Structure 1
Amino acid sequence: MKKIEEVCERAQYALWNRFWDNEKEVFVNHYPVKEEESWIYWWHAHALDALLDGFVRTKETYYLERFEAEYEGAFRENGGTFLHNWYDDMEWMTLALIRAFDITGEKRYIEQAVYIWNDIKTAWNDSCGGGMAWKKDQLDYKNTPANAPAAIIAFRLYQRLHREEDREWGEKILKWNLDHLMDPDTCFIWDGMNRLGDGKVDYEWKFTYCQGVVIGAAMEYARITNNKEYLDLAGKVARRAVTELADADGIFPYEGPDDCGLFRGIYFRYVYELTQESSEYEDLKEIIKKNARVIAENGMNEDGLVGGDWRQKSEGTLDLAQHLSAVMTLEMAAKLGDS
């Protein structure tokens, strides 16, 4: 087994053995567990993705067994449904379920994805010139995390179900995102607009996952249209993120607590996919590997857990989000192999 694969297994072992609650049969938010744990739906979508990563790498069926347990647990904890107030939360879950269908061939996953997608589409409205709302009780706030993942969903469903309406949805959502939340000069992706009801863009909110999901949406559209301009755009967005957000050595720093802990892993998931589309992105492969090496050599503690700062071991209470981000980054690097 290659070294990076060993590190992946250690991180995945820690994910299951430190965050899984045998009584509730679902992942908890922290290790050690806090007395009161709130329900954070979207973290569970990425936990499902991480478990699928483990299965793809190893073909060990226990990963699918864990996936099924977490799938059922998340459904139950969310009130017997995958519908939710936050549109972006539902989008992350839908993307994980489409992957589950691709990997297992089980139709119930794609059927559940389509069911959620039908609810997600109610996010579109005319405020801010269109676009998908962030959540159902704030329909005039539009952001990249609610739009770019929705475009990815639409394009992926189109490629699997061949419904023209899905392609049309993807096109209009992606166009809105690029027109309203991308710097036309640098291709850096801004987070959102009209958060405070003033129509303003949050230029100061600079997050890796916003870059990642636009990379993903542009790639999916390039696959559908064979239009290299969109693949080139994905590359520009990916590289601008390195320039704008990474340290001088290419390592992406901690972006903040709570939800922010997940952002880098999402970025690297889509950057990995980009590196598989063309041989033009060897530099981005090295960025993935660099960050994974830092996690493996500096960021993983004795329990196999990784916190927010990948340059040093974290002790005390660790977030599920932080650890998931590291797991996903390591899994993407494992696909690239040791070098």
Structure 2
Amino acid sequence: MYKIEDYCEKLQDSLMEYFWDEKEGVFQNHYPLQEEENWIYWWHAHAIDCLLDGYLRTKDKKYLIRAEAEYNGVFIRNGNTFLHNWYDDMEWTALAILRFFDVTQDNKYKDQVLLLWEDIKTAWNEDLGGMGWKKDQRDYRNTPANAPAAILAYRLYQRFLKKEDLEWGDKILSWNLKNLTDPETGFIWDGLNRLGDGKIDYEWKYTYNQGVVIGALLERYEIQKENADLELAVKIAEVTKGEFTAACNGIFPYEGVDDCGLFKGIYIRYLNLLAEKSEEHSEIKKTIQQNASCLIERGINKNGLAGGHWDAQEEKCVDLAQHLSGIMLLEMAYRLS
């Protein structure tokens, strides 16, 4: 019988061996390295998150050293700032850095989070409601720009007790639930007004949208203890499993190239928080453990890398995004074990 922590360690070590660029001081996007590599800022927030997962599992300071190196490298590579054009990208970064503060209690991380938060709040669309996707397209409001912002607001409130942050969390989450949630099934839609026509992208179905709304509901539940939030989170998890895994024997499928490689890992991160809430959620735990077992048994290649499919090995090119999702899956399954 395998030990899941051994595979967590295997994927964490492969992350450093095959993606870390010592010269650039950051992770590269692909292995093998491509001739032209774009800077994809938001992937690095999840790299920091994964390294913090490794530290929380082992208490080995090597993970903090790696995370600090990535943190510094991203800051420099992004122009000596964490501020960015894309609001959702800054939200992922703020959430990761806030976890870094939680682990270390170093106020330099807190200061960066608060700086990001002040900029993120400018995403709110006063005329239409909701958080805009990016600074040059504020009228396109989507779940990836809203639910993570609500999570951040609620977490800031829980740590620093600033009432304004609680109000922001309630305002943002309420907008997301009212405008981008199927009232019958609880399924979370991606966004609206992308093309300036006021329409919702019903055909855009992604796991991470479900995950971040679950995450926001759980943070509000921690504060307000309303069972309705927990019940809706469970409903979203149930419809997500049916929507994405019914044809795949319970395994979350490959969602697409590039950014899509991160989506199911993010979903699992927040699904795990729901699974940890109660022993009553045994089916949710089983879903995570089933996917982790599948990845371990079928999806890790000879280099210890996880590709876009959790049920098949990728022998050609593995994206950093894909491998990070694999790490998130195994680290979350370890927490449940």
State the TM-score, normalizing by the size of structure 2: 0.98
- 1:126 Cα deviation from its structure 2 partner: 3.2
Q: Deviations over 1:224-260 (max 9, x none)?
A: 1011110111111111110111134211000000000
Tell me what 1:165 maps to: 164
Is the partner of 2:287 in helix, strand or coil?
A: helix
Is the partner of 1:142 in helix, strand or coil?
A: strand
Is the partner of 2:42 in helix, strand or coil?
A: helix
Is the partner of 2:291 in helix, strand or coil?
A: helix
- 1:33 Cα deviation from its structure 2 partner: 0.8
Tell me what 1:264 maps to: 264
Residue 8 of structure 2 contacts residue 327 of structure 2 at CA under 8 Å; is this kept in 1? Answer: yes
Tell me what 2:332 maps to: 332
Tell me what 2:5 maps to: 5
Tell me what 1:233 maps to: 232
Q: Deviations over 1:310-335 (max 9, x none)?
A: 11110111100000001000100011
* Alignment CA distance shift 1:64-1:2 (3 Å): farther
Partner Cα separation in structure 2 for residue 2 and residue 336 of structure 1:
15
Check if 1:118 corresponds to 2:118: yes
Tell me what 1:149 maps to: 148
User: What letter is aligned with 1:144?
Assistant: T
Q: Report 1:96-135 matches (<5 A).
A: 96-127=96-127, 129-135=128-134
Partner Cα separation in structure 2 for residue 311 and residue 162 of structure 1:
44
Partner Cα separation in structure 2 for residue 178 and residue 301 of structure 1:
40
Residue 245 of structure 2 contacts residue 252 of structure 2 at CA under 8 Å; is this kept in 1? Answer: yes
Q: Deviations over 1:157-195 (max 9, x none)?
A: 000010000000000000000000000100000000000
User: What letter is aligned with 2:62?
Assistant: Y
- 1:74 Cα deviation from its structure 2 partner: 0.4
Tell me what 2:73 maps to: 73
* Alignment CA distance shift 1:17-1:301 (3 Å): same
Partner Cα separation in structure 1 for residue 191 and residue 293 of structure 2:
32
User: What letter is aligned with 1:192?
Assistant: G
Q: Report 1:278-289 matches (<5 A).
A: 278-289=278-289
Q: Deviations over 1:16-51 (max 9, x none)?
A: 110000111110000011122110000000000000
Partner Cα separation in structure 2 for residue 86 and residue 66 of structure 1:
25
Partner Cα separation in structure 2 for residue 114 and residue 291 of structure 1:
36
Is the partner of 1:37 in helix, strand or coil?
A: coil
Is the partner of 1:41 in helix, strand or coil?
A: coil
Q: Deviations over 1:243-302 (max 9, x none)?
A: 111134211000000000000010000011111112221100000001111111100000
- 1:120 Cα deviation from its structure 2 partner: 0.2
Is the partner of 2:314 in helix, strand or coil?
A: coil
User: What letter is aligned with 2:334?
Assistant: A
Partner Cα separation in structure 2 for residue 314 and residue 164 of structure 1:
48
Residue 247 of structure 1 contacts residue 253 of structure 1 at CA under 8 Å; is this kept in 2? Answer: no
Residue 276 of structure 2 contacts residue 336 of structure 2 at CA under 8 Å; is this kept in 1? Answer: no
Determine what percentage of the aligned residue pairs are the same residue. Answer: 59
Residue 87 of structure 1 contacts residue 120 of structure 1 at CA under 8 Å; is this kept in 2? Answer: yes
Partner Cα separation in structure 1 for residue 49 and residue 311 of structure 2:
24
Paired residues in the alignment total 336
State the TM-score, normalizing by the size of structure 1: 0.98
Q: Deviations over 1:182-231 (max 9, x none)?
A: 00100000000000111000000000000000000000001110111101
Is the partner of 1:141 in helix, strand or coil?
A: strand
Tell me what 2:177 maps to: 178
User: What letter is aligned with 2:97?
Assistant: L
Tell me what 2:201 maps to: 202
User: What letter is aligned with 2:68?
Assistant: E
- 1:2 Cα deviation from its structure 2 partner: 6.0
User: What letter is aligned with 1:214?
Assistant: V
Partner Cα separation in structure 1 for residue 245 and residue 93 of structure 2:
28
How large is the RMSD of aligned CA atoms in angstroms? 1.0
Q: Report 1:235-314 matches (<5 A).
A: 235-248=234-247, 249-314=249-314
Q: Deviations over 1:99-135 (max 9, x none)?
A: 11111111111111111000000000135x3000000
Partner Cα separation in structure 2 for residue 258 and residue 86 of structure 1:
16
Tell me what 1:34 maps to: 34
Residue 95 of structure 1 contacts residue 153 of structure 1 at CA under 8 Å; is this kept in 2? Answer: yes
Tell me what 2:322 maps to: 322
Q: Deviations over 1:140-160 (max 9, x none)?
A: 100000000000000000000
For structure 1, list consecutive stretches of 5 or more residues without a partner in the other structure: none
